[in-house]
Amino acid sequence: MKHRYLGSSGLKISELVYGNWLTHGEQIEKDAAIQCVHAALDAGISSFDTADVYANTVAEKILGKALKGQRRESLEIFTKVYWPTGPGGPNDSGLSRKHIMESVHGSLKRLGTDYVDLYQAHRYDHETPLEETMTAFADVVRSGKALYIGVSEWTADQIRAAKHYADELHFPLVSNQPQYSMLWRVIEAQVVPTCVELGISQICFSPVAQGLLTGKYLPGKPPPTGSRAANATGASFLKRWYSPKNLQAVQGLRPVADELGLSMAQLALAWVLQHDYVAAAIIGASRPEQITENVGASGVAIPADALSAIDEVLAEIIVTDPLKTIEITPATRPS
């Protein structure tokens, strides 16, 4: 497993990060989740991503149990704050000072650690002054509860404004966590150039487009039993991709993967990792053997002709509109 620097910081993270969105506490049982975490550790993955909102805090608890007994200094643990947790009261979401401070304490308790390596703003909060949010993050860092700060799905302008405050307050804002894959490239036009200028890396989620790019979903066939599309929660996130046109186009990638000696999932992950502005791609798993397959993407170099072939195969279904980042952030705090 290769490691990369996170932004302009001195922190190194594994280029494949194990994430537990839609799995721990929802799609798979606790024992299976713990087996997947241990498989990730065995494969050399040292970085783990979660969020307080995943399964309404249950995912953090399971990850904490799975990592118990591991050498803390050898791990990089990430979590996030913004979406509603608990009963959904008026201050149970957003990026107010109150919610950030209460949330970080809860996350640390559930994860069983004194600090997280990376604490991320899960979306932009339009109802809280940015100065308040960033000052609270500065205090979280100074208190030793987080070492670095990141954001997730922020626009280029929001990231630039946040970096201004981070520099003034002298704490490290080092990452953005966007959706990014062969199919979803909305960060390339604006977010990526801004982040490169500011020394901020991308930690990419959904690099296999909710499993679509694995090729396991076939046109005209029902989703495989146990797959994300066969799970009610997972299917709700996959539905925008799940069309006959998209399923047919993705099957066109199979000859490219075969030529390179890669599985479809490995090809999708390796494509994301080709970009030097990416620090890591987040993988999830419902079975340990999926992790074993995914780690085969680490260190793979895709030749230029294969990259061109990928673009040609997917040309009609690639999404590039940078305004899509704005669309997925609520205008008001969710409850």
The answer, yes or no, to whether residue 230 has pLDDT greater than 60, is no
- The residues, ordered by sequence, that sit 6+ positions from 263 with a Cβ below 8 Å of its Cβ are 214, 257, 293, 296
Is 236 domain-assigned? no
Closest among 330, 310, 318, 307 to 241, alpha carbons compared: 318
The answer, yes or no, to whether residue 99 has pLDDT greater than 70, is yes
The answer, yes or no, to whether residue 231 has pLDDT greater than 70, is no
pLDDT at 114: 98
Q: What's the mean pLDDT in 264-284?
A: 97
User: Which residues make beta-bridge pairs with 281?
Assistant: 16, 204
User: Could you confirm whether 54 is annotated as catalytic?
Assistant: yes
Confidence of residue 8 (pLDDT cuts 50, 70, 90): very high
DSSP character string of 287-311: SHHHHHHHGGGTT----HHHHHHHH
Q: What's the mean pLDDT in 106-122?
A: 98
pLDDT higher for 21 or 202?
Answer: 202
- pLDDT above 90: percentage of residues in the chain: 81
What is d(CA 13, CA 77) in angstroms, rounded to the nearest whole number?
10
Q: Which of 18, 54, 119, 277 is catalytic?
A: 54
pLDDT higher for 326 or 312?
Answer: 312
CB crowding 154-192: b at 16 or more within 10 Å, else e? bbbebbebbbebbeebebbbbbbbbbbbbbbbbbeebbb
What is d(CA 143, CA 159) in angstroms, rounded to the nearest whole number?
23
pTM of the model: 0.93
pLDDT higher for 288 or 241?
Answer: 288
Number of domains forming the structure of the chain: 1
Is 279 domain-assigned? yes
pLDDT at 28: 62
Kindly state the tokens that stand for 66.
Answer: 């799975």
Q: What's the mean pLDDT in 91-95?
A: 96
Is the distance from CB of 166 to CB of 174 less than 8 angstroms?
no
Is 245 domain-assigned? no
Is the distance from CB of 14 to CB of 5 less than 8 angstroms?
no
pLDDT at 242: 75
Q: What's the mean pLDDT in 166-191?
A: 98
User: Structural domain of residue 286, as residue ranges?
Assistant: 3-210+275-301+318-327
Question: What are 186-214's pLDDT values in tens digits?
Answer: 999 999 999 999 999 999 999 999 899 99
The answer, yes or no, to whether residue 222 has pLDDT greater than 90, is no
Closest among 66, 59, 49 to 120, alpha carbons compared: 49
The answer, yes or no, to whether residue 164 has pLDDT greater than 80, is yes
Task: From residue 176, give the alpha-carbon distance in Å to each of 149, 162, 186, 234.
Answer: 9, 11, 13, 23
pLDDT higher for 226 or 190?
Answer: 190
pLDDT at 229: 55
For the chain, strand residue ranges (E) read 3-5, 12-14, 16-19, 47-49, 76-81, 116-121, 146-151, 173-176, 201-204, 278-283
Q: What's the mean pLDDT in 60-88?
A: 95
Confidence of residue 243 (pLDDT cuts 50, 70, 90): confident
Question: What are 115-148's pLDDT values in tens digits?
Answer: 999 999 999 999 999 999 999 999 999 999 999 9
Is 99 domain-assigned? yes
Could you give the 3-state DSSP secondary structure of residue 26? coil
Is the distance from CB of 33 to CB of 65 less than 8 angstroms?
no
pLDDT at 235: 60
Closest among 207, 205, 212, 210 to 249, alpha carbons compared: 212
pLDDT at 6: 98
Is 251 domain-assigned? no
Q: What is the CATH number of the domain that holds 31?
A: 3.20.20.100
Is the distance from CB of 273 to CB of 245 less than 8 angstroms?
no
User: What distance separates the 2 farthest-apart alpha carbons in the chain?
Assistant: 55
Is 55 domain-assigned? yes
Q: What's the mean pLDDT in 212-226?
A: 78
% helix / strand / coil in the chain, to the nearest 5? 45, 15, 40
pLDDT at 236: 63
Torsion of CA 118, 153, 159, 115, to 10 degrees: -10
Task: From residue 202, give the alpha-carbon distance in Å to each of 174, 227, 260, 290.
Answer: 9, 27, 26, 23
Is 240 domain-assigned? no
pLDDT at 88: 83
Is 230 domain-assigned? no
pLDDT at 232: 58
- Helix ranges restricted to H, 231-300: 232-238, 244-251, 254-260, 264-273, 288-294
